[in-house]
Amino acid sequence: MDFYGQLVAMNKPLIAAVQGYVLCGGCNLAISCDLVVAGESAIFGYPEVRLGLAATGVTPTLVHQIGRKAAFELLILCENIDAQQVLNFGMINRIVPNDQVMTAATKMAEQLASFNHDASLLTKQTLRR
């Protein structure tokens, strides 16, 4: 199983807290998590092709997340996109002010930790299928 597949297969919910530039594998790492909180000035993108690299490692996760057409556009045109566009694609869950990213992610984690772990696990497993 590839690295991103292992992230998705983890039994505990994973939360990514991102700000600044979220590019290449870092972008894929973030969207492989179950929940993503992004700072309002976060910039996402896949510049691999522009750098002379094939985007083979990130493609399956991105296609699964946003569909083939949208994934192809992001991967082949190598255009960076802002947090609002990424939210519109469904790649992240929330946008918060830059200085509140960790606070928002921590609040999510605390909320998740207060729930029944078996119910959370079953919900994640069902979504995974």
pLDDT in tens, 9-66: 788 899 999 999 999 989 999 999 999 999 999 999 999 999 999 999 889 989 988 9
pLDDT, position 124: 87
Task: Find where tokens 């509140």 sit.
Answer: 100
Least confident of 50-64, 85-99, 102-116: 50-64
C-alpha closest to that of 128 among 107, 91, 75, 120:
120
Least confident of 55-64, 80-89, 106-115: 55-64
Read off φ and ψ for residue 96, nearest 5 degrees.
Answer: -135, 165
pLDDT > 70 in the chain, percent: 98
Q: Over 70: is that where the pLDDT of 1 sits? A: no
In CATH, the architecture of 3-128 is Alpha-Beta Complex (3.90)
pLDDT, position 74: 96
Q: Is 81 left (phi over 0), alpha (psi -120 to 50) or beta?
A: beta
Segment 86-103 shows an average pLDDT of 97
